[in-house]
Structure 1
Amino acid sequence: MRLVSTKSLKPGVMLGQTIYNERGQVLLQKGLNLTERLIRRLTERGITYVYIEDELTNDIHIESPISDTLRIEATEVIKGTFTDMRNSGIMDNSYILDKRGEKLTNVVQRIVDEMRNNSGTLSLLADIFVTDNYIFQHSLNVTIYTLAIGLEMGMTTKQLSEIGTGAMLHDIGKVFIDQDILQKPGNLTEEEYETVKNHTKLGYDFLRKQLEVPLLVAHCAYQHHERLDGTGYPRGIKEEELHPYAKLLGIADVFDAVTSNRVYRDAMLPHEGLEILYAGSAKLFDINIIEAFKKSVAVYPNGLTVQLSDNRTGIVSRQNKFLCDRPVIKIHREDDKEVTKPYEIDLGRALNLTITSISA
């Protein structure tokens, strides 16, 4: 399969992946020939990239870090939990998580188990789920990225359970904020931005009253926008005051935010999201956590068209474990001419070559 921008899609191409709504219902089936109307529908729903089938890339396979069944179930659990909390009200210190807490913990454990059994590198571009509420998919994506880092860093089962639950609930404070502000397509006013920033404290205040929630989970909600140099919010605390979970969660949160489709901008590709993290290393983010994340995520995902430093063009066909920014490339153009027989170059071995640009 080949990864392409929806803006470059042409009528007649075949969709390479099924697109679901947040309830797991099929919106567009894999193998469907796209028409102008369907392409316009993808664009209108804010989908920036899709996979398509073509003859050159029919041997390139895309794997999701977790099964579609688990992703759908996890999204439903997150949605149900957030809905229950919104309905209970922020001042409620009841046992609202008595019912939901066990389901959250169970889902986190199953995600960990599936990720441990998946030997490939992490890419969520293969998971196209269209949702009317960004917060549910964002919460799950951040959980997956957070657990990937935790696994890479050798966290214990207990730590993975704590930080996984914290990741799922890190944005819970947003359910108490006007949804029109959260979904606003344009720039926020200063007052609106201050309202949105308050979600960290709202989430913390709510979670710390829930007897079933460890205080560390509440602090994930409180601190995930804090930064090493004290420029974050809500308290502007610095590196030594930040809990390790918050340092990790902040990186996963930023990466998913910039690589996801939003109402006000298109998604970035993974290598662009990683560049943003590295630009903030030492000052904003812990470089050791970024390095652990880099080892886990497919920087250049399978199916992406890239140009090499010697002007050859190819498509990412496979990943190199632990060398996620140096994948295997299937070359199909040399000196702006199609080659008779495509062949592979392993950038993990061909260290004199680098990826200089991408095309989607």
Structure 2
Amino acid sequence: MSTTATITQTTADTLRVEPLPGRSFGARIILPSYARDPKDLNEEDFASLYRAVHEHLVVVLPGLADLDPTSQYLLTKRFDPTCEGAYGHTKEFRHQKSVLRRDGSSVPKQPQVQILGQGRADGHEGAESLELRHPTHMSFHKEPLSEQEMADGYTRFYRWHIDSALYELAPPVVTTLLGIDCPSGERQKIKLDGGSGETIESDVAATAFISGADAFDALSDEEKQFALTTTVVYAPHPYIFISPARATSDGFTMVSENLETPLEELPEWEDSKIKRLPLVWTNPVTGRHHLQVHGCCIWKLETAKGTQELAQARETIHGLMKQQLTKERIYLHDWQKGDLVIFFNRGVWHSVTGQFGPEGHRLMHQCNIASGADPVCVN
């Protein structure tokens, strides 16, 4: 369980934080009566929300299905005064060779907010001819499940990641994710692929989270020392770099088969814009260390004993990440209409899960904004 202090409120007119029972992270937020739109929180209540996001890592604000995209953007931006623009929603994000190219469409009036989901949503927020596609492991993993396994209700984690361009721009501090139309009731069994045959059950297409703080705490003393002294070097234009490759069955990293886009075939890049980030990021509120890495996009590891190149770096990171692949370590959010999930993007890993049937439909809004400063590790 989390060792951080629990925030308490004494009146109905202040923001309430209710930690999720039986979990080491996660909380439910009840807004004060004056702020039916969370962007209107006063300084004191926003400070409580800010602390809650950093302490509990993933918080859920229910009942906000009608939240305006501009309100979502302003709330997201408020968490980071240094943020300088919209992460990812650029020509490169939609590059025809990027693995992210089909994972959303911008809200015309507020392009920092992305429309996600499954099925047609023509005319939504002024976006015409919108065909949404929920990303699934079938087109991303080297060895996807069989059709019979999927027919029997099994699925996988798609890709464990941190929201970030990982080239030129600094990772966002938080991501906000709003469930507008989230059909529930259909269940799925997610294969953990840890070698035990273990599964974990949730609603279809739940969003999965792992605490980077729990991940760091679970390391051995030797592994902690390694992590604290290692820098992750991400590939130039990483989502284009990895596009021809395929992922491991647990979604933590890519299989090394020399299939990556050759560096000379990538869009023009500069060494000064390559992201070199610590493997461990320090939470500015709690002071806890978080093991934070996007295993699919790594290129090299710069360690105290020298540089690990791509294949070895992937093997090393996979070994550190897979220790968290247990039911007890994973929080699966089963979406309800109107849920606004805010997660500390510099403190958790998350993954899409599941797949929809031919008539499946879902509609969501996502917002994260590149920060003006990279995360740091404070020893």
Q: Which structure's residues are more often strand, by fraction?
A: 2
Q: Which structure's residues are more often helix, by fraction?
A: 1
Q: Greater relative contact order (Cα 8 A, min sep 6): structure 1 or 2?
A: 2
Larger radius of gyration: 1
